[in-house]
Amino acid sequence: MRNFKTWAGHRAVVTGASSGIGAEYARQLATLGVNLVIAARRMDRLQALALELSSKHGVKVDCCQVDLVAPEGPRVLFDFATADSQQVTVLINNAGLAKYGSFLEFPYEDHFSTLAVNSVAPTEITYRFVKHMLAHRKQSYVTQVASIAAFQPVGNFAVYSGTKGYLMYFSESLAYELRGTSVKIMCLCPGGTYTEFFEHSGQKITSSGRKTMMSSEKVVRLGIQAMLAGKVIFVPGFLNQLACFLPRLIPRHLGQFFAAKAMGRAVEKAS
């Protein structure tokens, strides 16, 4: 991964690092000598990952137990990561929630939590860390982990689709504002990826859906390469890129129809 040879000793913050894409970001950054702040709610998972990475790669890994639904969560994370004047040069906003099903099926508190973790928290976290990065003036990178749902909303994923669309537009606008500075912003938009996401969101992958899934290892490897290359929006995988391009060619109501059909073939609601 070009340009990362000079990053040994630098410091990255990864949210949602207890599993899936977040844990994989921590692993791949650690192999490059990057010190880490890994954040999530499950402290036991974080501590196990920290022990694995520090013993295997000799990097410093700090664990921050934080609930990003709580209003104070982003501030707690920022204060923890920058304590004692430590400088952060990479931010991976990966934490995310979802509920698969009709909008009215779930209590509003579930939707509030999805909004808080997927949109509100990354906005404040980005605000705090970008100001910090501009102040220390080192080359820095921010990756927001969204979804191909940002390109094509789909039924039974109304709030999730909305939050990921926000995250993509927010990232694109901020990248333009920060052009010419030392901070680069990218939005990573993966499709179906083998993680615990499906279990937590109430989905079960079908045999058809497994044919289009990507591994978190590949998604993250391509994501880091795209981040370093200065991409603003990046969709990993040819089939995912095709799925994001096709809605531009058809009326939006047809896009919704085809997206719902594709989702129905790929997943079913867990019992």
Residue range 40-88, pLDDT digits in tens: 999 999 999 999 999 999 999 999 999 999 999 999 999 999 999 999 9
**Beta carbons of 240 and 148 less than 8 angstroms apart:** yes
pLDDT at residue 256, rounded to an integer:
67
Q: Is 160 a catalytic residue?
A: yes
Interhelix angle 43-57/20-31, rounded to 10 degrees, is 20
Cα radius of gyration rounded to whole Å, the chain? 18
pLDDT at residue 167 greater than cutoff 90? yes
5: CB partners within 8 A, 6+ apart: none
What is the chain's mean pLDDT, rounded?
Answer: 88
Known catalytic residue: 269?
no
Distance from C-alpha of 95 to C-alpha of 61, rounded to nearest angstrom: 18
**Using CA of residue 149, residue 154, residue 157, residue 159, what is the dihedral sign?**
positive
Q: What is the pLDDT of residue 194?
A: 60
Confidence (pTM): 0.89
Identify any residues that bridge with 203 across adjacent strands, giving them in sequence order.
269
Give the integer Cα–Cα distance in Å for 20 and 9: 24
How many of the other CB atoms lie within 10 Å of CB of 104?
8
* CATH number for the domain that contains residue 50: 3.40.50.720
pLDDT tier for residue 195 given thresholds of 50, 70 and 90: low
pLDDT confidence tier of residue 154, bands split at 50, 70 and 90: confident
When pLDDT is cut at 50, 70 and 90, the band that residue 237 belongs to is confident
DSSP string, the chain: -TTGGGGTT-EEEEESTTSHHHHHHHHHHHHTT-EEEEEES-HHHHHHHHHHHHHHH---EEEEE--TTSTTHHHHHHHHHTGGG----EEEE-------S-GGGS-HHHHHHHHIIIIIHHHHHHHHHHHHHHHH-S-EEEEEE--GGGTS--TT-HHHHHHHHHHHHHHHHHHHHTTTSSEEEEEE---SBSSTHHHHHTEEE-HHHHTT-B-HHHHHHHHHHHHHTT-SEE--SHHHHHHHHGGGGS-HHHHHHHHHHHHHHHEEE--
Tell me, what's the pLDDT at 245? 73
**For range 117-139, the mean pLDDT:** 97
Determine how many CB atoms are found less than 10 A away from the CB of residue 107: 10
Q: Tell me, what's the pLDDT at 206?
A: 54
pLDDT band at 7 (very low <50, low <70, confident <90, very high): confident
Q: Which two tokens stand for residue 46?
A: 């974080």
| Total tally of structural domains belonging to the chain | 1
- Among 99, 164, 184, 231, the active-site one is 164
Interval 138-152 mean pLDDT: 94
Give the confidence band of 208 by pLDDT, cuts at 50, 70, 90.
Answer: low
Rounded Cα–Cα distance for residues 61 and 50 (Å) = 5
Q: What is the pLDDT of residue 211?
A: 60
pLDDT at 128 over 60: yes
Residue 44 structure tokens:
């036991």
Closest among 149, 141, 139 to 171, alpha carbons compared: 141
Check residue 123 and give its pLDDT.
Answer: 98
The whole domain housing 116 covers 4-269
Place of tokens 């220390």: 136
Q: Which of 160, 166, 184, 231 is catalytic?
A: 160
